[in-house]
Amino acid sequence: MRPYWKNLYCALLVTLMGAPCMEAWEQITWTGQVTAGFRTTFTCSSSCFPSCIYTWSFLGRTVNGSTLSWTPDGRDSTVELQCNVLNPETGVSSTLTSIVEIKNRLSVQISPPNTVPSLNKSVDLVCHDAAAGHLSGPSHQVVWYKDGQKVTLRGNMQLLHNTSLHFVSLLPSDAGFYQCETSVPSQQQTRVFSLGYLLNFDPWNVSISGPDAVFPGRLSKFTCLTSCTLNVDCTVRWQFRAGFPIGTYLSVHENELKWTPSIPGTFQNFTCVAENAAAGQSAEATKTVEVKGVLVSGSEAVRLSGLHAVILSLGLLMLFDS
């Protein structure tokens, strides 16, 4: 049976937008944990006569068919999968969305462990596989990235055993967000990006990555970057001090926020707070984002405002009641 909030959502879509809603059940299923570097097959199911037409949308890609086989590359910790179901007999379509959490075995660790980076001191960044330990040897060719760009070795840097990034003497310019990329021992030997490490000389430095300008109807991602270890040294929470983000989609998962805005010509503030309540330490960063486009007016604005309120309320149910 369709959940109550879905029935409500369908009724409101018909009332506000005149959009059809399929009188059928739909679901997205898969088996096991979704892990970066390993292929997972997702299945979209519904009931149509004689048969449904399925279309998948995710990460800007479109795939036809009821099944989707996909290997995450580690760049995202969550991904929004959308399955559009069309009943060719009635012409009615419906879209089902599932937020998939992606586990990543790869991470960047500092060596020696628990080292606090200090200027003019040496330190290593190690590409670590939770299943295999520290990677080493010619079979593991590691590529290092800083702030999304490939690392170019300078005079104070060395690549050890093809896997570890060694800093002979840390410079202020070495601060940044580091990731490693290598292959994991799956059937496809897929190249995977690791979780990142923020190398900084202030242990409570916080920043927010993501675009300064976004567009209505387009999904954007923001990440709270901290130099403290999440869920060990600190926890992260998002605040919306200047008003809750208005849009058709909002997802918050630990230090990652995804948002699809809907009202052009507006501004939204995101604040990320990292804190260790036991130690009494905290730090925060705020980012102002502009929603580009021309603001609508008149009856169209009234209709959109009503729909935004409905979707926002239902989005909160899905975000905090899941």
CA-CA-CA-CA torsion sign (294, 295, 297, 301): positive
Residues 89-105 have pLDDT tens digits of 888 889 999 999 999 99
pLDDT at 1 over 70: no
Percent share of the chain, pLDDT over 70: 79
- C-alpha to C-alpha distance for 70 and 114, rounded to whole angstroms: 36
Give the pLDDT band (50/70/90) at residue 295: low
Residues 173-185 have pLDDT tens digits of 998 889 999 887 7
Residue 133 confidence (pLDDT)? 60
In this prediction, residues 153-158 reach a mean pLDDT of 92
Q: What is the DSSP string of 47-74?
A: --SS--EEEEEETTEEEESSEEEE---S
Please tell me the least confidently modeled range out of 10-24, 124-138, 157-171: 10-24
Residues 310-321 have pLDDT tens digits of 444 444 433 433
Provide the 3-class DSSP secondary structure of residue 16. Answer: helix
Q: Model-level pTM greater than 0.85? A: no
Fold classification of 206-320 (topology level): Immunoglobulin-like (2.60.40)
- In the chain, which segments carry CATH 2.60.40.10? 4-100, 106-199, 206-320
Provide the 3-class DSSP secondary structure of residue 240. Answer: coil
CATH code of the domain occupying 4-100: 2.60.40.10
Residue 187 confidence (pLDDT)? 57
Cβ atoms of residues 66 and 44 within 8 Å: yes
Residues whose CB is less than 8 angstroms from the CB of residue 87 and which lie 6 or more positions away in sequence, other chains included:
22, 24, 48, 49, 52, 53, 93
Give the pLDDT band (50/70/90) at residue 271: very high
pLDDT at 209 over 90: yes
- C-alpha to C-alpha distance for 14 and 122, rounded to whole angstroms: 63
Task: Identify the CATH class of 106-199.
Answer: mainly beta
Residues whose CB is less than 8 angstroms from the CB of residue 8 and which lie 6 or more positions away in sequence, other chains included:
314
Would you call the peptide bond into 72 cis, given omega within 30 degrees of 0 as the criterion? no
Residues 106-124 have pLDDT tens digits of 999 888 887 778 899 999 9
How far apart are the two ends of the chain, measured CA to CA in Å?
Answer: 17
- C-alpha to C-alpha distance for 96 and 149, rounded to whole angstroms: 35
**How many angstroms from the chain centroid is the CA of residue 73?**
12
Residue 183 confidence (pLDDT)? 83
